[in-house]
Amino acid sequence: MLKDKTILLGVSGGIAAYKAVELLRLYVKAGAAVHVIMTKGACEFVTPLTFQTLSGHPVHTELFNLMQEMEIGHIALADRADLVVVAPATANVIGKLAGGIADDLLTTTLMATKAPVLLVPAMNVNMYENPIYRRNEQSLRDCGYHILDPICGFLACGWEGKGKLPDPAVIVEESRRLLAPQDFAGESLLVTAGPTREELDPVRFLSNHSSGKMGYAIARAARLRGAQVVLVSGPTALPVPCGVERVDVVSARDMETAVLGRFAAATVVIKAAAVADYRPAERAGEKIKKNGQGGMVLELEQNPDILRRLGEVKERQLLVGFAAETADLLGNARRKLEEKGLDLIVANDVTMPGAGFDSDTNIVRLLYRDGRMEELPQLDKDEVAWQLIDRIVALRRGVIPSR
């Protein structure tokens, strides 16, 4: 989403200007071309040379600079941007923009651009709460400017409260969202991810190798494309994707409760979790001790099949399952699609190199209800997720028949 895009990064004069350096680095790493405009105040905190070196482009600082105007021109900067990001955006810049004042290069460019504008305010908490600032921010929201709220924390001015610039990675993710197609907007996605753990005693459990990467990638892609996303997750080490509501569960029965309770509100459900089919018939209250007599037999009982249950009670929801197989991939996947009442199943052979648990890539086949099968090449899990959402959008729009 950021590759080959042109981002105009405005930096205004607050202490958080130093974080804009990291932000620039992340944009460049993601393949974007970044042009930087700094206000006079910003140049007091960080030198233009820093931004110039890291962006590989001249930094623009003055409205009436004959040389800069010859090279690019402020209107050209406004025109060529796919996205304009101001981070940090001071109360002063926000106030000027809300008041229609264009008295330097940054505010002039902001007024002139037709690209989406993301403002990332950072300031002292009292300034942030000032009713004049609040009014200005609201009027910019009303005009269609995108504003990423500051976070709470210890501020450079010594105060504690809301006013800190969000982590640069969060600003980059929000930028991706603004550049992504919003073709999944209006959908409420319920997605499950990760393994479940079935406790044997206070120190042991039965589980599987699922890392959760596939389900998390789906949650992220769906949210970037505009959906409301609830991610019901078994234990994983993964960070929650931006803007996604995560519900943590441990066992299959926890997952069943979490999923059934949220099913009615969902329009699409994707079950990427590797749910344990069995749990120990009894969970010991104390750590099980060796009995010194060789082996031990564990009695297991079956867990509920959550997806099958959803297939039985579904009304208008689109249901997507996964099939992790080690043999007869298509036969088993087709059977699961039918038996669980799914609209689509994503089948993968977890024994293949580059596919399955804990890998960063996957090799999947998509099986539809009307008998069609599509084979995707080995792709990053993020790309598999993106392509899966493409297919679901098409199913929802009736471009691909669902029956």
Q: Looking only at residues 338 through 397 of this chain, which bind ligand CTP when binding is defined by CB under 6 A?
A: none
Active site residue 43: no
Candidate list 26, 32, 42, 307; residue touching ligand CTP; CB under 6 A: 307
Q: Which residue number, 32 or 268, has a Cβ lying nearer to ligand CTP?
A: 268
Per CB under 6 A, the segment of 79-87, 121-129, 271-279, 353-361 that binds ligand CTP is 271-279
Residue 245 CB, nearest distance to ligand CTP (Å)?
19
- 323 forms part of the interface with ligand CTP (CB under 6 A): yes
Burial of 25 per CB tally in 10 Å (0-12, 13-18, 19+): middle
Looking at beta carbons only, is 199 or 305 nearer to ligand CTP? Answer: 305
| Interface pick for ligand CTP out of 69, 167, 254, 305 (rule CB under 6 A) | 305
Give least dist CB 204 to ligand CTP, A: 20
Sign of dihedral through CA atoms 233, 239, 245, 248? positive
CA–CA distance, 225 with 386 (Å, rounded to integer): 9
Amino acid sitting at position 227:
A
**How near is the Cβ of 323 to ligand CTP at its closest, in Å?**
4
Q: Which residue has the tokens 């942030």?
A: 128
Task: Tell me: does residue 215 bind ligand CTP (CB under 6 A).
Answer: no
**Does position 273 bind ligand CTP by CB under 6 A?**
yes
Options 246, 336, 391, 396; binder of ligand CTP; rule CB under 6 A:
336
Q: Which of 321, 348, 349, 386 binds ligand CTP (CB under 6 A)?
A: 321
Question: Should residue 252 be labelled a site residue for ligand CTP when binding is judged by CB under 6 A?
Answer: yes
Q: To the nearest whole angstrom, how small is the minimum distance from the Cβ of residue 252 to ligand CTP?
A: 6
CA pair distance 130, 157, nearest whole angstrom? 16
Q: Which residues 6+ apart lie within 8 Å of 180 measured at CB? A: 1, 224, 225, 226
d(CA 227, CA 244): 9
Q: How far apart are CA 122 and CA 91, in angstroms?
A: 8
Name the residue nearer to ligand CTP (CB basis): 201 or 305: 305
Q: What share of residues in the chain are helix, strand, coil (percent, to 5)?
A: 35, 25, 40
**Closest C-alpha among 147, 173, 151 to residue 164:** 151
Q: Which of 43, 143, 152, 157 is catalytic?
A: 157
Provide the residue type at 62 as one letter: E
Is the bond preceding 88 in cis, omega lying within 30 degrees of 0? yes
Distances (CA, A) of 47 to 39, 51, 52, 87, 402: 11, 7, 9, 15, 57
Q: Which is nearer to ligand CTP, 263 or 322 (CB)?
A: 322
Active-site amino acid positions: 157
Binding site for ligand CTP (CB under 6 A): 252, 271, 273-275, 277, 303, 305-307, 321-324, 336
